[in-house]
Amino acid sequence: MRVLGIDPGLTRCGVGVVEGQPGRTCKLIGYYVVYTEPDDDIAQRLLHLDRSLGELVAEHTPDSVAVERVFSQHNTQTITGTAQASGIGILAGARAGLPVQTYTPSEVKAAVTGSGTAGKAQVTSMVTRLLNLDGPPRPADAADALAIAICHIWRGGTRNRLQAAAVKAALRRTGARR
């Protein structure tokens, strides 16, 4: 399974592409950061983000897209930009006809480090180890996007297999054929 992970941000949006299977070692395909200028018009910033994410989805042909879910913060200006970038990320996957899943920061941290309260340094360190990289991905937005992709492979893949098994069992019980 190939996953494009997105760490949404309006000024810096991290994107990571990873291949793997639940419970197995993942392979790095690539990582990027899409930048926009804070002084530019918001419409142009969102358009640039939309085009860039669309190009990355087309280039890497992922099986699914995983986006970090926006969470409440005290700084409403930051949360607004993050929410807008998140929507663009979700739209990029949907526009390509791909399944899109969102994960909270604590879900991502728990999947990658084993602790939902891990710090950024711990997440970056584990991403570096899990993907067998020579050095940590920089900036942190890229490492976070890779962590989101790994989380989806390990958690989302398992969730999809459980759902498929449940559907198969229900079909067997009713005698229906697929």
Residues involved in catalysis: 7, 68, 141
Q: Which amino acid is at 91?
A: L
The whole-angstrom separation of Cα 105 and Cα 70 is: 8
Q: Which two tokens stand for residue 133?
A: 């990289």
Q: Which two tokens stand for residue 106?
A: 């604590």
The whole-angstrom separation of Cα 123 and Cα 114 is: 10
Sheet holding 2-7, edge to edge: 27-35, 12-19, 2-7, 64-68, 100-103
3-state secondary structure 13-54: EEEEEEECCCCCCCEEEEEEEEECCCCCCHHHHHHHHHHHHH
